Structure 1
Amino acid sequence: MNPLLKALRSRHAILQNKIDREQRALQPDTLRIMSLKKTKLRLREQIEFLERAYQTGNPDTVRQVLRNRSGFSMP
């Protein structure tokens, strides 16, 4: 598995745990939950983009797009 995909999936799972924990709190912070969910959604979109790009067999396009649009750098 690609190390970047692995890292993004790990961050996605961590965010889900934070969301779950906040929702179970006695007084959940709804703004924090919304922020965590937005971040989680952005990660999900990045994961899906990378999965599609690697399935089509075009990693050079992935490197270029990530470098230009989202601040990621890949070797």
Structure 2
Amino acid sequence: MAPSGVMLLLLLLPVAAAGVTPGSCSGCGPLSLPMLAGLMAADAVVSLLIIAVVFVCACPRHRPTLEDDKVYINMPGRG
């Protein structure tokens, strides 16, 4: 369950957003095409890095099991 402070923040967020007048942003015009392309490329690189890290961490590593040379009665595939 979320702490009460977080819930209060989530409840007050729409109130704060309603208090902002539209068009009050100064100097935030449309993005230029090179800037937009750069942001998209950076996002793609970061996404690929995250995917690579998750893949490397989740990939099972082949480790030799201990006592792999023993043959037991209830293991018909060995020996």
- TM-score, normalised relative to structure 2: 0.37
Higher RCO (CA-CA < 8 Å; seq separation 6+):
1
Greater share of residues in helix: 1
- TM-score, normalised relative to structure 1: 0.39
